């Protein structure tokens, strides 16, 4: 029998294992790539210069192996606005509510302007400026977390850049595959971050059906934190898994130590789906911010990108002053299985080993 873990995507990328790590941490990305997986670095919160520097840093450490960069390309935000202009668009009612939360929980002010103020999702101009770095650097893979990357396909392909689209609905998958993306990530409701409402077990086989015969590989994302999930994803027809929460508490991860502890303690029901962080539906760990915005007398959550502007001081203040009681982070329902701080290489090998054990269980191990 051929190696069931050596999928078409492994062949296409020249990687050993069908495991893709989405991470905001360069060290995690490098560790996963050098251990035989693939990594996509989330750069939506960085300026073009920072993105270029991060790409060089990674390239120096992976000996020519491929890697990816992820940005967000939301179409629903203003074309161009300064942070000050966006701040001025926040209505008084929501400002007062934020102030009330800050006073009630004694939330400290951030030490510096939050990173979220450079988020590519604030306006279209920021995202387009970030994209230029992807083209200049000819990164091997570009993935787009929010919004369709269809409009960049021609230019990206001319430069030899693969474009992957992240989808939460079958019809988005059909559109992106028809447009010519090189891979599609079917991301289910279980997932950390911005996610739709279709469960991983439902979205993945549907997208696999849509992609059948096109040669476009499908990655399964949302809730994958064990080797059983990996094997199940392959059984559903996926070519690889797309994982985020799995790496948050890894040894290499630059996530705040208190936050790592919070994530290790978190249970599935702590990873809640709400629009109170960014204005889009997003799975993040429960916090006082969530509790207050879910109250019946809370003002309406603002549309993107304003809610993100509003929540960013709370989030940054909690991190700057190590306030574990306030902290929140994007985390998926699979967070239950993130129980210790292991090196990324070990996380990957544990995942692969468990997947192979599952297979042995199905096939029956040789007795002799």
**Which positions touch ligand FMN (CB under 6 A)?**
22, 42, 44, 70, 72, 145, 166, 187, 190-193, 221-224, 242-246, 248, 329-332, 334
Which residue's CB is nearer to ligand FMN, number 25 or number 177?
25
- DSSP characters for 47-97? -HHHHHHHHHHHHTTTTT---EEEE---SSS-SS--HHHHHHTS-HHHHHH
For the CB of residue 144, give the shortest distance to ligand FMN in the complex, in Å.
7
How many angstroms separate the CA atoms of 234 and 95, rounded?
Answer: 47
Q: Torsion angle of alpha carbons 214, 39, 202, 195, nearest 10°?
A: -120
For the CB of residue 279, give the shortest distance to ligand FMN in the complex, in Å.
15
For the CB of residue 19, give the shortest distance to ligand FMN in the complex, in Å.
11
For the CB of residue 335, give the shortest distance to ligand FMN in the complex, in Å.
8
Q: Which residue, among 235, 242, 255, 237, has the nearest Cα to 332 in the 3D structure? A: 242
For the CB of residue 249, give the shortest distance to ligand FMN in the complex, in Å.
11
Which residue's CB is nearer to ligand FMN, number 10 or number 143?
143
How many angstroms separate the CA atoms of 329 and 315, rounded?
Answer: 9
For the CB of residue 30, give the shortest distance to ligand FMN in the complex, in Å.
18
Q: Which residues pair with 220 in a beta bridge?
A: 186, 241
Contact at 8 Å (CB) between 220 and 7?
no
Which residue's CB is nearer to ligand FMN, number 13 or number 94?
13
Coil, strand or helix: which one is 229? Answer: helix
How many angstroms separate the CA atoms of 17 and 38, rounded?
Answer: 8
For the CB of residue 146, give the shortest distance to ligand FMN in the complex, in Å.
7
Sheet holding 271-274, edge to edge: 193-194, 282-285, 271-274
Which residue's CB is nearer to ligand FMN, number 45 or number 310?
45
Contact at 8 Å (CB) between 165 and 199?
no
Which residue's CB is nearer to ligand FMN, number 51 or number 94?
51
How many angstroms separate the CA atoms of 215 and 212, rounded?
Answer: 7
78: tokens are 């203003």
Which residue's CB is nearer to ligand FMN, number 67 or number 242?
242
Contact at 8 Å (CB) between 308 and 117?
no
Please give the helix or strand (H or E) that residue 349 lies within, else none.
helix 344-363
For the CB of residue 319, give the shortest distance to ligand FMN in the complex, in Å.
12
Which residue's CB is nearer to ligand FMN, number 68 or number 97?
68
Which residue's CB is nearer to ligand FMN, number 94 or number 203?
203
């Amino acid at each position: 029998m051929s190696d069931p873990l050596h999928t078409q995507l492994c062949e296409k990328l020249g990687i050993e294992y069908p495991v893709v790590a989405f991470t905001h941490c360069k060290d995690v990305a490098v560790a996963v790539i050098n251990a035989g997986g693939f990594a996509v670095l989330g750069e939506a919160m960085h300026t073009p210069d920072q993105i270029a520097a991060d790409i060089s840093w990674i390239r120096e450490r992976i000996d020519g192996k491929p890697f990816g960069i992820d940005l967000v390309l939301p179409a629903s935000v203003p074309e161009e606005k300064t942070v000050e202009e966006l701040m001025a668009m926040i209505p008084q009612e929501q400002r007062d509510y934020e102030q009330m939360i800050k006073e009630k929980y004694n939330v400290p002010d951030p030490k510096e302007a939050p990173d979220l103020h450079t988020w590519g999702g604030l306006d279209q101009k920021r995202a387009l400026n970030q994209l230029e770095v992807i083209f200049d650097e000819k990164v091997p893979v570009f993935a787009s977390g929010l919004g369709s990357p269809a409009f960049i396909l021609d230019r990206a392909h001319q430069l030899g850049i693969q474009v992957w689209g992240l989808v939460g609905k079958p019809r988005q998958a059909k559109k992106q595959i028809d447009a010519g993306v090189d891979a599609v990530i079917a991301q289910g409701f279980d997932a950390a971050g911005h996610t739709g409402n279709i469960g991983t077990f439902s979205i993945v086989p549907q997208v696999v059906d849509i992609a059948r015969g096109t040669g476009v590989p499908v990655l399964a994302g949302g809730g994958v934190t064990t080797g059983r999930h990996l094997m199940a994803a392959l059984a559903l027809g996926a070519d690889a898994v797309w994982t985020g929460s799995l790496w948050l508490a890894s040894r290499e991860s630059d996530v705040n130590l208190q936050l790592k502890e919070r994530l290790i303690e978190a249970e599935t029901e702590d990873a809640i789906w709400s629009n109170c962080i960014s204005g889009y539906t997003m799975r993040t760990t429960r916090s006082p911010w969530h509790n207050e915005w879910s109250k019946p007398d809370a003002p309406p959550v603002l549309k993107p990108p304003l809610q993100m502007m509003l929540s960013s001081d709370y989030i940054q203040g909690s991190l700057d002053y190590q306030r574990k009681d306030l902290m929140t982070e994007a985390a998926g329902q699979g967070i239950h299985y993130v129980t210790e701080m292991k090196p990324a290489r070990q996380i990957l090998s544990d995942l692969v080993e468990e997947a192979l054990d599952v297979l042995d269980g199905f096939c029956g191990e040789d007795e002799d």
